[in-house]
Amino acid sequence: MRLSTRIAALCVGWLFSHPAVAADLPQRWVSAGGALSEWVSALGGEAKLVGVDTTSQHPQSLKALPSIGYQRSLSAEGILSLRPDILIGTEEMGPPPVLAQVKAARVRVELFSAQADLPTLAQNLIHLGQLLGAEAQAKQLLQTYQQQLDAQQARVAQAQTAQKAPGVLLLLGHAGGKPLIAGKDTAADWLLQQAGGRNLATHSGYKPFSVESLASLDPEVLVFADRALSGEAAKTALFKENPILNSSRAAKAGRVMQLDPTLLVGGLGPRLPAALKTLTDGFYPAKGGQ
C-alpha cells in the first residue's frame, strides 16, 4: 500500500470515527410518511424537507412542498429530481424496485416502523433525532409525549371509576357516503381503546357495514372521520347519507365526535395526545357541574 493511500485511509477513518458532524448530516430530506413528516417538523427539520408524499398533510405548510405522490407508488426519477440526501418512509413505502433504484443513486433510504406503540415511536424519534442532529430535542419530545400518554391513561382510569366505558363505533367515510367501520387490528381501534372507549365492532380491518347491524349495535358514542369534508359539513353529510344513524343513542344524545382521518395513518404522530384527550372528554362527559 502506498503511503498516500494509507494517509487517505487514515483520514477517512478519522472522519468516520467522529460523532456526526453537522456537515455529515443529510441536508435535503424527502419524507414519504405522514407521521414521519410531522415529527421531522416537530424536531425543527421542516426547512430541510424538499419533498413529501400525499399522506404528509400536517403541518399545513408541508402542502406547499413538491409532492412525490402516494407513498406506495413512488417514482424513482421524480424523487431523484429533488436531489435529496435522504428518503425516509415507513414499511408501506414502495414499490421495492423504485427504492432499489433510489438507493442505487446513492440516496440514503431510511425505513421506520409505522407500528402504533411507544417503544417503536421511541426508536423512531431517537433515530430521526440523530439524523437531524437534534438528539436532545428528540429526547425532550419523547419525554413529553410519554408524560402526555401517561396522563391520558390516568385520566381514563380516573373517569372509569365513575362511569362505565361507553360503546363506540368509528366510521371512516368519504363525504358521508357508505362509511367503513373500524374493526380490530386497526389504528382506529387502538385509538378508541387509548381514549377509554369500547369498540363495538368485532370484525377485523375496515369493512363496510350494513345499516341494520349498525342500528342494532346502537353505540353510545359515534366517532367519524371523513376524508373529504370536515367540520359541520362532514357531520351533516354523514347523517344525510345514512339517516338510520339518527335513531342511534349517540345521535339522540348528541354524542357524535369528529376525528381527523390523517391521525389514522402511519403510526403515532405528535398530534395524537391532544386528539386522545378530546375523545376521552367526549366519552366521559363531566356530570352536573363537578
Q: Which of 61, 73, 143, 160 binds another protein (CB under 8 A)?
A: 73
Examine residue 26 and say whether the peptide bond preceding it is cis (omega within 30 degrees of 0). Answer: no
119: contact with another protein by CB under 8 A: no
Question: How far, in Å, CA of 188 to CA of 173, rounded?
Answer: 13
Q: Which of 20, 63, 66, 240 binds another protein (CB under 8 A)?
A: 66
Of 62 and 68, which CB lies nearer to another protein in the complex structure? Answer: 68
130: contact with another protein by CB under 8 A: no
120: contact with another protein by CB under 8 A: no
68: contact with another protein by CB under 8 A: yes
Binding mask 176-205 for another protein (x = CB under 8 A): ----------x-----------------xx
- Judged by CB under 8 A, the number of residues near another protein is 32
Q: Which of 77, 117, 150, 218 binds another protein (CB under 8 A)?
A: 77
97: contact with another protein by CB under 8 A: yes
44: contact with another protein by CB under 8 A: no
Cell, residue 211:
345499516
Torsion region of 141: left, alpha or beta (phi above 0 gives left; psi -120 to 50 gives alpha): alpha
User: What residues make contact with another protein under the rule CB under 8 A?
Assistant: 51, 54, 66-70, 72-82, 92, 95-98, 100-101, 104-105, 186, 204-207
